[in-house]
Structure formats: structure tokens, C-alpha cells
């Protein structure tokens, strides 16, 4: 199977994704949205593409009740063409609200992936789900390592049953086990894309779905001290170390995979934008990620720019979701809670696919505001790019424009806390960080930190935990794994980001440690100084140094937000009533 750069971007002519996007089954749909109940015999048309440069003759199977690997009932099959395209006409859906799944199998029968499309009644209401991506029918759903990992985790924590799976429970699964899903997806992609030569135990099976199930079953998912990262590393073996350290960052920055990690995909045809029409400030951080050389189509791996904050104070969103800015640096479309956006920062332009959530009033003053996360590419270089931002509503009165502001103390303080084996004193949040970092060597691992919120000056203070009894380890590029007694990431005081320009411009939703205010120490080397950034409500801390940009994925309810980050304004008020999915911050 030929391998290509782990990226595809449906909004610009750049390289296709991974296998993993592998059998990218581009169904323009997934669970969510309403619709009348489907009666027995209701049929729909499904058309899409199995992509991996491409995957010729991929076997496409649609099942109900469960994925094919878990015994789902087959309700439609097709074989992809030489270009990966396929069409299934007259798929008869079961009556009522039954979960529907897409499954894709490469001709070698080893790469097997699956994904959740949504409920039969909602799919019946859509009637025809096709590949073309338009503002009225977004997003497309790929059958990918992320969707496969998410279903493996869901099956493990629900005793192998998918009968109760709904868009809401799928979104909760993504939120509660985001870091675990990311780790398992990295393992699937490392094996499926031949990025390493693993030595798998006999119980891991011989397909990527059986591997995902094995990893989920051996990760202590429901114990409160998940061991997923080390389980993946131990299962795949030393030759996979570089891929396992690098792939979580690549996946989070991919324009298809990134949105799949947040809220899942929903049927957004004719769905109104979550964002209220009006004017906004966009405050965020752009972090280009250096892809593994083994998965790049370029003659040499593209260089990457250091991560940098981005701001645009002139953004307008109209009633049907069109995004414009007076300075022309931001444009795009909001459909439901998906954003397709072009951002120009200086001489660089980025093509992004993002998901949006509503920040709760407890962490805002003068709201509303929305957290935006996802990935894309630098249009010129093709570099994968992670994007974290907040859209803060602005109002104008008496000729003065003001924007919603963060209330960082709205995170509150807690009693002494232990989360995933990370123990912190009263007044601190316990968090666990999963690292994906490119430096002199490629490293990964998991470690704990304590965060104390404060008002004014140092907005947050971060310190090592008093004890670690969970998954605290480091992995170097040679495959050596060792337990870690101290954190490789050091950051003390965090404050609101302010530019060095005259006059200075403050980005209150972006926290930073300042120039060389943080450091990261890869195994066996000296500390690398850098700058760390965190955007309110995001899943990721960005660490940027002269050696490259690293992503530290957050595991921890309080840090991610001790409240709901909702798909809709109504959910942010009533706590998630209704039929659409809510995602809760953090893991466990």
C-alpha cells in the first residue's frame, strides 16, 4: 500500500491523508441533528471515497447495531473503484433510532477501520449523503484511526455493547477519553501506515480493529489511573517509539482528525450556526507541527515556524454563518459547530477545519465567547498546523468597542485533589499532560502537574505534584521507556499574553509563560527553553522552542473547564438538555 503525507484538506489541493485517514470513507455525515423516526424500509443513498492514494478495491460495509468487527448487521456493501470512489444506492435502514456504522477494509485485510455515522432516523431524514462538501452539508466523516479508536474505547467501557450509542454518548466518550483515543489512534496509524515494525503479542490480533480493541482492553480505562500511553508503547515495541511520540501531535493538527477528536461529527445539513451573528475578536495560537519524514510526500520534511499568538479584532459572522474580517485576514463559514476557515498571519496563510464549543458564563464577563480547536495546513509549505482560539463577542457603545473577557478565577479552587494518580494540595487543579514533542530527539510520555488559579499578575501558577502513582513515564526516540520522578515540562507563572508592539495589544484569552518562561527536558538531554501557551477551554498546551513546537494534551476535568463546554448556547444555560451532544472537559 503506498503511503502519503498524513494530511488531506478538502478545502485546498494539498496531499491526501494517511491510510488511516485511511480508508477515508468520506461520508458527508454523522450522528447528530434531529429528523422524524424512520420506518421499516426507509432507504438512503450513500456516496463517498476510500482514500489512501487511493485505496483501490477497498471493501465498504455499512452495518447497524454495532461495527462489523463487533457483530453488526450488514445492511449494505460496495467495492471502491480504482480511484477509491464508491456509491451505495437504496441502503435500507432499520426502523427507529438505531446506531449505524461504516466499515472499510483494505485488500490486504489488515487495515480495517470503522466509524459511527449516527442514528438511522437522522440518516433517513437526510436521505442522500454524498461526498461533495458544501457550506450546507458539513462536515464529512472519515473512517479513520480516530473513529476506530473512539469506538474501541466506547466498546471497552460499555462491555462490548453499542446498543445505547447515540450522538450524545459518542460525544461524551470523546471528551471523557480524549487522550486515550489519541494514543490508541497513534498506535493504529503507526501500524497501519507501516511507520514502524511492531512486535505485537498474540492477543493483539491481525487487524487494526483488533489491535484497537486489545489496546483499549489493556489500558485500565475505568480505573481512574489510565495507562493507555504506556500500554500502546509497550504493545508496539521499541521500533515504534518515534512514531508514537510524533503521531499524537500530527493527528491533533490534521484538518480531518482534529475535528473528530472534539464533539464528533454531526449532520450539519441546514443546521444554523452555533455562533450568534455579530462582531467578534479572534484570539488564538498557531502552532505548525513537523510531520514524521516517513509520512511526508515532500523531498524533505517541511520546516516549521515557531508557534505564535494570533489576533483579529475585525471579525464578523452573519446569520447564515459567513465569516469575514475588515482586514481580510480571516474568512470562512460556520455550519452548526464546524468552522472551515482561512487565516492569514503575516506572510503565512492557513487552511483550517475547526470545531467550536460555547464557553460557560462562569469563566466569562461580558460574553458570549466560543472556544475553537482543530487543525489544517500552511497553504505554502503544507506543514500540519494546530490551531486553538477563542471567538469573543464585541459590542460598541458611545464609539467605544469592548469584547467579552475571561474570568480565570471562574475555574475556582478545589480541595486537595488526586486525578489519574496526580496528587495536588488544596486550591490546585490536578492535571496530566501527554507529550508529543519534536526537539533534538523525538520524545513522548505522560506526567502530572498542579495548577493554581489566581487573579491579576500571575493568572496561574504551575508546580510539580506532591506525588505520582499513575502513568508517569518518558519515551525516547530509541524506544527506551523509563518512569519519571520529575516533570520534563517546567512552567511557573502564567499571565495573559501581551504583544511587544507599541502600543501593546493584550490577548486576555491566551495565557503564556513569556519568553523562555518554560522548558522541556527530553530523556537524557539538557532542558530546552521555550514559550508555553494555553487558550481558555482548549484541550492542548502548546510548547514552542527553537527546536520545534510540541503539544501537551490535557487530561483533567478541572483544567479543561470545571463546567460544560457546550455545542449550543442553550446547552450552556440548561446543562445539556435536548438532543444534541454536550462535551465535558477533560478525561475521567
Same domain assignment for residues 423 and 540: yes
Same domain assignment for residues 438 and 387: no
Compare 518 and 268 and report the one with higher pLDDT: 518
pLDDT tens-place string over residues 417-463: 677 788 888 888 888 888 887 765 678 888 888 888 876 667 888 98
Same domain assignment for residues 430 and 520: yes
Same domain assignment for residues 88 and 106: yes
Whether residue 224 lies inside any domain: the answer is no
Whether residue 290 lies inside any domain: the answer is yes
Same domain assignment for residues 413 and 552: yes
Q: Tell me the three state secondary structure of residue 121.
A: helix
CB neighbour burial string for 416-437, b if at least 16 within 10 angstroms, e if fewer: ebbbbbbbbeebbbbbbbbbbb
- Cα separation of 358 and 536, whole Å? 11
Whether residue 118 lies inside any domain: the answer is yes
Same domain assignment for residues 373 and 303: yes
Same domain assignment for residues 324 and 354: yes
Say yes or no to pLDDT of 147 above 60: yes
Phi-psi region of 230 (alpha: psi -120 to 50; beta: other; left: phi over 0): alpha
Same domain assignment for residues 332 and 345: yes
Question: Per the structure block, which three cell numbers stand in for 18?
Answer: 494517511
The number of distinct structural domains making up the chain is 3
pLDDT tens-place string over residues 209-221: 999 999 999 998 8
- pLDDT for the residue 130: 47
Using pLDDT thresholds of 50, 70 and 90, give the confidence band for residue 351.
Answer: very high
Same domain assignment for residues 394 and 482: no
Q: What is the mean pLDDT of the chain?
A: 78
Q: Which residue, 416, 342, 409, is CA-closest to 380?
A: 342
Burial (Cβ within 10 Å: 0-12, 13-18, ≥19) of residue 360:
buried
Q: Which residue, 76, 93, 89, is CA-closest to 36?
A: 93
Same domain assignment for residues 403 and 420: no
Say yes or no to pLDDT of 293 above 90: no
Same domain assignment for residues 71 and 139: yes
pTM of the model: 0.86
Same domain assignment for residues 426 and 385: no
- pLDDT for the residue 20: 30
Whether residue 533 lies inside any domain: the answer is yes
Question: In the chain, what percentage of residues exceed pLDDT 90?
Answer: 32
* Total residues belonging to the chain: 588
Residue 216 DSSP class: H
The domain in which residue 478 lies consists of: 409-560
Q: Tell me the three state secondary structure of residue 150.
A: helix
Q: Which residue, 459, 467, 454, is CA-closest to 424?
A: 467
Question: Per the structure block, which three cell numbers stand in for 118?
Answer: 449516527
Amino acid at each position: 500500500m503506498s503511503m502519503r503525507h498524513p494530511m488531506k484538506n478538502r478545502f485546498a489541493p494539498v496531499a491526501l491523508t494517511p491510510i488511516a485517514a485511511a480508508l477515508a470513507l468520506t461520508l458527508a455525515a454523522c450522528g447528530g441533528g434531529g429528523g422524524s423516526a424512520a420506518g421499516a424500509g426507509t432507504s438512503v443513498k450513500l456516496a463517498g471515497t476510500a482514500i489512501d492514494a487511493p485505496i483501490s478495491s477497498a471493501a465498504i460495509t455499512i452495518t447497524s447495531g454495532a461495527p462489523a468487527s463487533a457483530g453488526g448487521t450488514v445492511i449494505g456493501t460496495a467495492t471502491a473503484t480504482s480511484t477509491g470512489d464508491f456509491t451505495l444506492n437504496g441502503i435500507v435502514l432499520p426502523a427507529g433510532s438505531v446506531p449505524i456504522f461504516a466499515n472499510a477494509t483494505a485488500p490486504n485485510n489488515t487495515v480495517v477501520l470503522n466509524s459511527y455515522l449516527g442514528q438511522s432516523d437522522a440518516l433517513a431524514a437526510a436521505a442522500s449523503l454524498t461526498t461533495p462538501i458544501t457550506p450546507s452539508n458539513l462536515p464529512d466523516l472519515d473512517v479513520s484511526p480516530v473513529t476506530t479508536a473512539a469506538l474501541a474505547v466506547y466498546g471497552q467501557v460499555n462491555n462490548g455493547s453499542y446498543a445505547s450509542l447515540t450522538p450524545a454518548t459518542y460525544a461524551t466518550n470523546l471528551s471523557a477519553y480524549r487522550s486515550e483515543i489519541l494514543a490508541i489512534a497513534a498506535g493504529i496509524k503507526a501500524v497501519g501506515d507501516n511507520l514502524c515494525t511492531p512486535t505485537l503479542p498474540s492477543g493483539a490480533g491481525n487487524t487494526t480493529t483488533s489491535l484497537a480493541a486489545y489496546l483499549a482492553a489493556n489500558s485500565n480505562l475505568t480505573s481512574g489511573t489510565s495507562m493507555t500511553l504506556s500500554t500502546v508503547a509497550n504493545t508496539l515495541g521499541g521500533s515504534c517509539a518515534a512514531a508514537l511520540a510524533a503521531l499524537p501531535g500530527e493527528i491533533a493538527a490534521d484538518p480531518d482528525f482534529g475535528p473528530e477528536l472534539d464533539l464528533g461529527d454531526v449532520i450539519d445539513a441546514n443546521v444554523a450556526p452555533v455562533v450568534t451573528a455579530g462582531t467578534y475578536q479572534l484570539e488564538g495560537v498557531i502552532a505548525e507541527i513537523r510531520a514524521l519524514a516517513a509520512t511526508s510526500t515532500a523531498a524533505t520534511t517541511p520546516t516549521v515556524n515557531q508557534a505564535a499568538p494570533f489576533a483579529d479584532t475585525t471579525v464578523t459572522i452573519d446569520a447564515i454563518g459567513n465569516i469575514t474580517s475588515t482586514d481580510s485576514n480571516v474568512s470562512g463559514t460556520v455550519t452548526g459547530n464546524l468552522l472551515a476557515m482561512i487565516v492569514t498571519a503575516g506572510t503565512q496563510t492557513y487552511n483550517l477545519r475547526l470545531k467550536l464549543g460555547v464557553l460557560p458564563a462562569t469563566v466569562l464577563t461580558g460574553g458570549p465567547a466560543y472556544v475553537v480547536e482543530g487543525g489544517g495546513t500552511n497553504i505554502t509549505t503544507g506543514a500540519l498546523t494546530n490551531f486553538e482560539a477563542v471567538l469573543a463577542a464585541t459590542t460598541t457603545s458611545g464609539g467605544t468597542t469592548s469584547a467579552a473577557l475571561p474570568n480565570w478565577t471562574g475555574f475556582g479552587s478545589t480541595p486537595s485533589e488526586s486525578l489519574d494518580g496526580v496528587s495536588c494540595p488544596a486550591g490546585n487543579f490536578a492535571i496530566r499532560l501527554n507529550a508529543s514533542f519534536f526537539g533534538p530527539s523525538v520524545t513522548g510520555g505522560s506526567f502530572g502537574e498542579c495548577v493554581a488559579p489566581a487573579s491579576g499578575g500571575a493568572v496561574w501558577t504551575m508546580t510539580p505534584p506532591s506525588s505520582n502513582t499513575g502513568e508517569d513515564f518518558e519515551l525516547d526516540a530509541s524506544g527506551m521507556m523509563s518512569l519519571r520522578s520529575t516533570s520534563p515540562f517546567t512552567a511557573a507563572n502564567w499571565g495573559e499574553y501581551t504583544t511587544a508592539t507599541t502600543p501593546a495589544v493584550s490577548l486576555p484569552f491566551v495565557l503564556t509563560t513569556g519568553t523562555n518562561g518554560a522548558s522541556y527536558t527530553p530523556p537524557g538531554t539538557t532542558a530546552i527553553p521555550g514559550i508555553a501557551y494555553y487558550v481558555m477551554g482548549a484541550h492542548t498546551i502548546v510548547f514552542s522552542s527553537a527546536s520545534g513546537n510540541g503539544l501537551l494534551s490535557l487530561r483533567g476535568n478541572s483544567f479543561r473547564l470545571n463546567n460544560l463546554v457546550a455545542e449550543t448556547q442553550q446547552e450552556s444555560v440548561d446543562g445539556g438538555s435536548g438532543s444534541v451532544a454536550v462535551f465535558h472537559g477533560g478525561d475521567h
